[in-house]
Each structure stands twice: as structure tokens, then as C-alpha cells.
Structure 1
Amino acid sequence: MTDITASSLPVAAPPARRDIGLKKRYAAEARFRMYGIAAITFGLVFLAIMLGTIISKGHTAFWQTTVTLPVTFDPTLIDPQNKRESDPSVLIKANYDKLAQQALISKLGIDAKSKPEVAKLKGFLSDSARIQLRDMLVANPALMGQTVTVPILASANIDSAFKGQVDLTVPEARRKVKDQQITWMNQLAAEGTLAEKFNTGLFTYGASSRPETSGVGVAIVGSLYMMAIVLVLALLVGVAASIYLEEFAAKNRLTDLIEVNINNLAAVPSIVFGLLGLAVFINFLGMPRSAAIVGGITLSLMTLPTIIIATRAALAAVPPSIRQAALGLGASKMQMVFHHVLPLAMPGILTGTIIGLARALGETAPLLLIGMVAFVANYPATPFDPATALPVQIYMWANEAERAFVERMSGAIIILLVFLMAMNLTAIVLRRKFERRW
């Protein structure tokens, strides 16, 4: 038995030095926690500033100023020669602006022969009034000669002034809303004729040169078309590629090279995929520019690496014992993968897919390069028709000079953020609902 001398035993540090070491470690831990809390607080403050700015500028876009007027469909003004029976186009060509103007003159009690006052009425109502009244009469010719109460949109300048977005204390020459128009606005508001109503047009209108008749309806439909294409292409191709690489492919230099390239593609800037879509799908294959089909395929290529990485991680998380048990009971490798491994990995696959779709929904740069920045006022009937997308519509409104478009832009950002939060929340719920801990 070897004797252990006292000199070979570790010497305990004095109590004072141990206390100093503990205090240093505790102080370092406290500083690290403080740095973490400061970083989180810093990020939350800027997030709150950003959201507060967007909401403060955009919440008014969900309300629109309207003027409710009794409009008389006067036959002597619409069809003075009584030709509408033989020529229905007379109803389309009539001067409906005059009808709206007469209704406003009658409501305000203005002398119709006073040209200075009548001239100041110009720009009080939206130019869309003539389209609104024309469509009403064309759809129901029986309205001819009748007086109907119609809510007509106010112009963008009157809308901004009524919402308090225009400084009315500056001299009249420096603002678009005149003093007389402000007087009439207050008069109609006191009578309850002029009021704010929920702006359904923001969700149903398409692109327009008039802010009061601009909406994101066409952009939402275009985005839905593209997300459907991304879901079908990226999910099918991504899951198939992931299953092959994770379960069937041999581990060699070729598969290692493929994996490295997939990881690199996930970090490639989105504008590069836009250049790829422009060069291949539009210039080489001749596909239609500004169509949802091209945008969907381009975004599918961009989303594919994200889905492949998430799917492979979900497949790798399934315990090997599941595979061994299935093979031990006589299942083929194909049966083992599709009957046992894939169902257990499905929560992770769905989560990765939804996150990839959320990223694709907010992308703008690839869509700008393939021409989806075009002015599109009509709803696309198919993915091959001209369309735009929600982030592109926001970009287009950001370049407009009128202040009312800033309001529409912020409102569209709120709508886009709601969609993104809903998709991310769906991913979290699915993960927690179907997640299995091994």
C-alpha cells in the first residue's frame, strides 16, 4: 500500500480567497443577465416604436369619410332625348358628376347660379361618384326619375381634413382644403350627413390613382394565388427531397455537396431568386410578366431550402428505435418511412412549411424584378392573369406623393402584419399540439 504524503494532497484555498472568487462569479453572472435583459428591452422598445408609428398612421385607413346625399336620377340630365330604350349606352355616357354636384348643392343650400361657390365644390366629393351612380342606374334602370339616398365617398383632401390630419391653422393658400370647404364640412358633419364609416373598400378595391378608392383587395387575391402555388410546389418537392436525403441517400461526397448547397441557398438574398425568375421563367420560357404563377414559382424556389432544412431536422428527431422496430416487424424501408417516421415528423414539417410561407408572403424584391409592380386594378381570375401582391402594393403606395396614400400604406402594413402573426401563431399552435417528446 502506497503512503500518501501530506504534501501531495490539494491545499484548500483560504476562506477569504474562496469568498472573493464566488463574489466575482456571481457578479459576472449578474452582469450577463443584466446585458441580456438590456438587449431584450432595447429590442422591445424599438419594436414598440415601430408598431406604434405604423398603427398611429394606419388605423385611420380603416375608416372613410362619406357624404350621404339624396341623389335624383333626373331623366332630363341623363337622357334628354329619351334614347335609352334603343341605345342603352346612353346610361353609361351620362354626366353623373352633375347629378352628385346637384345633390350636394341642394343639401348645402347653395345658389346653383353662383359660379364662385359652385367652383369651390369641385374636389369635395370623390371622382368615383360618377362610377358609383352609373353602376346603380345600369344595374337598376327603374331608378330613373327617383330620388335615392346614396353614401358617396368624400375626396381624399376632405377625408384627411375631417380626420384631423390637415393643419387647418396654416394660411388657406398653403393647403388644399379651402376655408369655404371647411365651413361646408362642419355644416354637413353637424347635420350627420358627413361621417366616418368602416372602410370596406380597403379590402375590396384594387389599385387606383385616387387614394379614397384604393384598396388591397386585388393584392390579397394575388398573394393568395402565390401562397397556394408555393404551398403545393415547395411542400411536395421539399418533403420528397428531405425524405430521400435523410432516409435513402448514401452518405458520400455528392450528398455532402448537395447538403452544403442547400444550406447556402437558404442564406442567398431574395433578390437573387428574383433575377433567376426573370431570366428563366420570363426571358427564357416566355411566361407572362406580372402573373401570380411566375411569382409563386419564384417564391417556391426561395422557400424550398427552408422547408428542406426544417423537414430534415424533423425526420432526424424521430428516434432510431421507431425505425428499428418497424423494420424488425417486417416492414419495408418505404413502409417504415411513410407509415411511421413521416407521421411522427409531420408537426415539425408543418411548422417549417408555415414559417417558409410567412417569409414568402412578406417578400418584395423578387416580385419587383418579375414585373409584379404593375398597376393592376382588376381581380385576377387565374394565376396567369396580371396581379400584384400585398408587400408590392405597400411599396407602390410608399412612392406616392399624396399624404392619403401614406395612410393607406400604413393600413396595408397592419393587414400584412396580421397575416404574418396569424401564420406564425398557427405554427406555434401546431407544434405544441402535435409535438412528441422522446
Structure 2
Amino acid sequence: MTDATANDISDRSEATRGRRDIGIKRRYAAERRFKAYGMIAIGLGIAFLFILLWSVVSKGYTAFWQTEIRVPITFSEEVIGTAEEGAANQSKLMMANYPQLARDGLIQLLEIDPENSEAVSAANGLVSQGVRMELRDMVLNDLQVIGTTEDVWLYASSDLDSALKGSYDLSVEESRRPISDLQLEFIERLEEMGALEQNFNWGLFTFGASSRAETAGVGVAIIGSAYMMLIVLALALPIGVAASIYLEEFAPKNRFTDLIEVNINNLAAVPSIVFGILGLAVFINWFGLPRSAALVGGLVLTLMTLPTIIIATRAALRAVPPSIRWAALGLGASKTQTVFQHVLPLAAPGILTGTIIGLAQALGETAPLLLIGMVAFVADYPETPLDAATALPVQIYMWANEAERAFQERTSGAIMILLGFLALMNLTAIFLRRRFERRW
């Protein structure tokens, strides 16, 4: 081989290596760009999630605290009646003028002249109008308080509560704020006496619907949602698992089963409001079930959740290796024994995970419940699934439409409670999947 030929081959080899190096560098650069795009997408997602959570938490954390006023209440027999009369006739206790007791207590506490109607009205506006129920319940629970004087922590009005939480600018002129100058003087005196405090708002978790923000809570909504989730769990889980087992393990592969599978997949993508229309037409108009009942809500959410559970269950069954089935059949087990004694237990973690995710989706639904009338004003706890009830997302929707500013923080607070339940359910699903998942 001549020197010229060798030099030519060497030049071509170097050119080839150069092109290969350039190609490798380009691939590495493309990989770096792809990773950067991925990191940017993750960062944007986290940023938007943080903004969402911050907007909710920053507005709603104050809902978990409620301003209260310590007032000396004299449970006068002239206003309430005697304990003996109350024991014999509780209707008299129910109809007593309890706001008068609170008004007399404020007059005594703030040392107001009872003849000064302006001062009495201003002081009376500091406490919630729900004082009637608060004092009535105290008397009904213990008749021995009649005739005594006790310091009682009463809920402050929503205007006072919002003002102390910074929702109003108290430095503007009196006509532009809901708290008058005289009430500001009373507030300062109450703070000096230690009779004004902000305590944890247990009523947010125990009260029902109310036209007054300070006495409004999600207790009834939580019970209604619990009833509906129990109904969904009791109906959707066995029906969904049974349908999945049949379609995956026993059903012949033909056009009919293919049509069923296509429709199940389509139902999983149907807007939830369509299920509400179906529930209104079938369960209420046809079967005559009561509107606003948790039973109807549970049935509607069951129809909406079934496709999700069926799809998740079939995926869990398919994830079980065929060797498990072959081994069971080879040892003499029947098809039914193989499915229920070997395949189903191994698929249980995936089935439970899909069920919990379906329940979490159903818990956050609002549109189908609005169509079946669960927007009713429900102040009392439902005793059975047939009683009138509401749900957490519906309660949030109703509060969001209220004009009073105090309901805004209640709305965000209820959203935080709902997000807490959803996070707990999803964490449960993750725990079950990791705890019982088998890798093949």
C-alpha cells in the first residue's frame, strides 16, 4: 500500500470519526434538552399546584378560628321559666327569649345604660344571632342552670369576626365599614377585660347549614357524603368486581363482549352531569325516591364509579401472570377455584387501589348531585339515607354563591377539608398498592 493510499484512508477515518463525534454530541444535546423540558414541565406543574393551594389556604385557614365573647349570662326564671316547668313542658324552653339574656349580659359586662338604645343596639350587634340556639341547648342539656349566672363564651357576629381577622379596613370612615365607632370602643374594652378571644372553630365540623356564617358548618355535609360513599362502596365494588371477573376470565370473545367493553370505556369518559340527568329521570321521576336524599346521590355516584372500578379491576386481573392460572389448573383446580382462590387474591391490591380512587373521584363530584336536588338548605343531621342531606362539594358550591364576606373564608376552609379527605384516600390507595403489590 502506497503512502498516498494510506493517507487517504486515514483522512477518511478521521472524517468518519468526526461525523460520529458530531452525531453523538447532537444526541447528547438533544437528551439534555429533553431532560430540561421535562424539568421545566415538572416545575410548572409544581408551581401551579403551589399557587392553587396557597390561594385556598391563605383565604381559608382563618375559618378554623372563631371569635368568641365571654358574657355573664343570668338564666332568669322570668324569661325561661322554672326548672320544674321546663321538665314538664319543654316547648316553653324552646320558645324562651334567649337573645334577651345575651343582651342583658352585654349591658352588664360593658356597663351600658339600658335606656341608651343606640349603645344597646351596637352591643347586641357584637354577638351572633345564633345565640338563641347556643343558650337554648345549654338549658335543655342541664335544667339546673336556670336561676344561676354563668360566664358563657358566645359566638361573635360575622362582621366582628371578619374585622378582627383583617377582612375589613377599620381605618376608613365609619360609613364604609360594617363596624361602627361605638362598636370599636366596645371591642377595645372587651379586649382589655380579656373577654374577647379567638378559639378553634369546632362548629365548622359539627354545625349544619345556616344563613349566618359564624354558625355555618360542614357537619351535615360530611354525614351526607359518608352515607353516599358507603352506598357507592356497597354497590359499586361487588358489581364492578363481578362484572370484571366475568369479562376477563369467563366471557367468550365475540362481538357482544367487544361491544360491552367499548361501552364501558365510553361510560368512563361520559361527563358526570349526564349521570345526574339519568338519576333524575330514573331514580326520582320513575322510582319516586325522595329528592335531596343520600340514597339517590349514592346510586347516581355508583353508576358514575362503576366504569372506573371495572377498568381498574380488569387491569389488576390481567397483571396476574398466566403461569399462576396454568399451575392451578395443572394441579386439578377448576376454573372457578383458580379465579377465586388464586387470581383474585393476587389482584386484590390493584382492585382496592382502583376502588379507592373511584371513591375519591365520586367524593369530589358536584354536578350530578345538583341535578338531583341536593342543594337543599339542610340544618339537621340525616338519620337515614332517605332523609334530606347535602354533600361537601355541594356545600362548597352553595357557600361560594353567598354575598357575605365571611362565607368566603368558610368556602376556602371547606375546600381544605375536602382536599384533606381526598389526600387521605389517595394516600391510602398508595399505601395499599405498595404494601400488597407483588412483582413478577
State the Cα distance separating 1:160 from its structure 2 match: 0.6
Q: For residue 113 of structure 2, what is the aligned residue in structure 1?
A: 111
**Contact 1:112-1:118 within 8 A present in 2 as well:** yes
How big is the shift at 1:268?
0.7
Partner amino acid, structure 2, of 1:404? A
Return the match for 1:142 from 128, 131, 144: 144
Question: C-alpha deviations, 1:133-161, integer Å up to 9, x for none?
Answer: 12222333322221011111000001111
3-state SS of 2:205 partner: helix
Question: Any conservation in 1 of the 2:106–2:124 contact (CA below 8 Å)?
Answer: no
Give the gaps of 5 or more residues in structure 1. Answer: 1-6
Give the alignment partner of residue 311 of structure 1, picking from 310, 313, 320. 313
After TM superposition, the structure 1 stretch with the greater mean CA deviation from structure 2, 87-96 or 207-216, is: 87-96
Structure 2 equivalent of residue 3 of structure 1? none
Contact 2:86 2:143 in 1 (8 A): no
Name the SS of the counterpart of 2:320 in structure 1. coil
Within the alignment, does 1:242 sit opposite 2:244 as a pair? yes
Partner of 1:431: 433
Q: Secondary structure of 1:67's partner?
A: strand
Counterparts of residues 203-352 of structure 1 (less than 5 Å): 203-352=205-354
Matched, 1:97 2:60: no
State the Cα deviation string for residues 181-210 of structure 1 (Å, max 9, x = none). 122112212221110111110000000000
The answer for the alignment partner of 2:78 in structure 1 is 76
Residues 309, 146 of structure 1: alpha-carbon distance in 2 compared, 3 angstrom cutoff: same
Matches within 5 A, 1:382-393: 382-393=384-395
1:61 and 2:36 equivalent? no
**Equivalent runs, 1:119-130 vs 2, <5 Å:** 119-130=121-132
- The offset of 1:218, in angstroms, is 0.3
**Post-superposition shift, 1:18?**
1.4
Residue 362 of structure 2 is aligned to residue 357 of structure 1 = no
Mapped partners of 1:108, 1:309: distance in 2: 66
Amino acid of the structure 1 residue aligned with 2:362 = A
1:273 and 1:26 mapped to 2: Cα distance?
Answer: 50
Aligned alpha-carbon RMSD (Å): 1.8
> By how many angstroms is 1:96 displaced?
1.3
Give the deviation of 1:297 after TM superposition. 0.8
Match of 1:413 among 403, 415, 418: 415
Aligned with 1:187 (options 186, 189, 196): 189
CA distance in structure 2 between the partners assigned to 1:234 and 1:83 by the alignment: 53
Between Structure 1 and Structure 2, how many residues are aligned?
429
**In the TM superposition, what are the counterparts of 1:165-184 in structure 2 within 5 Å?**
165-184=167-186
Give aligned-pair identity as a percent. Answer: 65
Matched with 2:5 is: none
Structure 2 residue runs of 5 or longer lacking an equivalent are 1-8
Name the stretch that deviates more: 221-230 or 95-104.
Answer: 95-104
Match of 1:151 among 143, 148, 153: 153
Q: Which runs of structure 1 show a deviation greater than 6 angstroms over 4 or more consecutive aligned residues?
A: none
Which moved further from structure 2: 151-160 or 182-191? 182-191
Q: Any conservation in 2 of the 1:271–1:365 contact (CA below 8 Å)? A: yes
The 1-side partners of 2:89 and 2:389 are apart by 35
Could you tell me how far 1:11 is from its partner in structure 2? 8.4
TM-score by length of 2: 0.94
**Residue 46 of structure 1, CA deviation:** 1.0
1:331 aligns to what SS in structure 2? coil
Point out the more displaced range, 113-122 or 194-203. 113-122
Question: How much does 1:342 deviate?
Answer: 0.2
Give distance in 2, aligned partners of 1:169 and 1:365.
42
Q: Which amino acid in structure 2 is aligned with residue 166 of structure 1?
A: Y
Distance (Å, rounded) in 1 between the aligned partners of 2:67 and 2:332 = 71
TM-score under structure 1 length normalisation:
0.95
TM-superposed CA distance for 1:13, in Å, is 5.8
> Structure 2 CA distance, aligned partners of 1:184 and 1:431?
58
Alpha-carbon offset, residue 168 of structure 1: 0.7
Query: Matched residues in 2 for 1:382 and 1:401: separation?
Result: 32
1:162/1:185 contact within 8 Å kept? no
Q: Give 3-state SS (helix, strand or coil) of 1:66's partner.
A: strand
Q: Distance in 1 between matches of 2:262 and 2:227?
A: 31
15-24 or 199-208, which moves further after superposition? 15-24
Q: Is the 8 A contact 1:227 1:357 kept in 2?
A: yes
Q: Deviations over 1:325-366 (max 9, x none)?
A: 111111110000000000000000000000000000000001
What secondary structure, in the 3-state scheme, does the structure 2 residue paired with 1:152 have? strand
Higher helix fraction: Structure 1 or Structure 2?
2
1:386-421 residue CA offsets vs partner (Å, 9 max, x unmatched): 100000000000000001111111000000000000
Q: Is the 8 A contact 2:75 2:149 kept in 1?
A: yes
Q: Which secondary structure state, in structure 1, belongs to the residue aligned with residue 197 of structure 2?
A: strand
